[in-house]
Amino acid sequence: MKTAEDAPGNGQAKGETMDDQLDLLDQIAGETRGTNAQDRARKQTVLVALRDHMSNSLQFVAALGPDWQLNYSHYGITDNTHCEWNQHGLRVSTGRDTAYMPWDELAELVENHPDRPGVVDYYRSVPHEKSIAFAQHTFALTRPHALSTEPAPHQSWIDDDHNRPGWNDRLEAWTTTITILNNALKEVAA
C-alpha cells in the first residue's frame, strides 16, 4: 500500500489529502462536492437570499455592508431562511444550506455594476438620522411587498407601499438592486 512517504519528494501525493480529492471532483461534469463548486454554491446561497428573501438587500448593495444596524438576525415568514449579519459579513441558513459571505466579497461581486450608482444615489437620498424621518427611512429602504417572494398578508400592505411618498423611486431602486444581484449570480455561475 502506498503512503505519503512513498511519494516523490517525501510529501503527500496529489489526491492524497481531502482538499486534493475535492479539487479532483471539480473536474467531473455535474459534480458539486469540489472546492470550487462548494465556493460557487456558498456564494449562490447568499446571493439568492439577498435577492429573494432579505428586506435589507438594497442597503447592502448600496453601502456594501451594514452601516446603521451592525448586528441583526431575521427569520423568513413563509420559508426556512434565516439571515444574520454583523460588521464582518452575512450568514444565511436555508434549512438545508448554511453559507457565509464577507462584505468585501459581496463588494467584489456588485460594486462595479454600471447601475449601482443609481441605487447608491437613492440610498443616500433617504434620511438616516433617528427621528420621525427615520420611520420613513425604514419604509423607503425596505423591500416593497410587491417585490417580495413572501406574499403580503393583505393587499392593503401593497397599496400602502404604493401610496407612500417616493414610491416610484423606491420601486426603481429595488428593481435595480434585484438586477444587480441577478447579474452577480450569473457571474458566480459562469
Asked if pLDDT for residue 23 goes beyond 60, the answer is no
On the question of pLDDT at 28 being above 70, the answer is no
Which triple of cell numbers denotes residue 90? Answer: 452575512
Cell 423611486 found at: 169
User: What count of Cα atoms within 13 Å lies in the side-chain half-sphere of residue 115?
Assistant: 14
Helices (H), the chain: 18-25, 35-52, 57-63, 103-110, 116-125, 132-141, 155-163, 167-189
Lowest mean pLDDT among 23-27, 45-49, 81-85: 23-27
Residue 67 cell numbers, joined: 452601516
C-alpha dihedral sign at 121, 123, 126, 127: negative
Average pLDDT of span 152-163: 82
- What amino acid is encoded at 62 in this protein? A
What does the pLDDT read at residue 78?
A: 44
**Which residue shows C-alpha cell 434585484?**
178
Least confident of 4-18, 115-129, 139-153, 171-185: 4-18
Q: Kindly report the average pLDDT of the chain as a whole number.
A: 77
- The predicted-structure confidence for 74-105, as pLDDT tens digits, reads as follows 555 445 677 777 778 888 887 777 889 999 99
CB 171 within 8 A of CB 144: yes
CA–CA separation, 62 vs 20, rounded Å? 38
How many CA atoms does the CB half-sphere of 156 hold within 13 Å? 0
Q: What nine digits make up the cell of 11?
A: 510529501
Look at residue 50 and tell me whether its pLDDT is greater than 50: yes
* d(C-alpha 141, C-alpha 122), whole Å: 9
Dihedral pair phi/psi, residue 43, rounded to 5°:
-65, -40
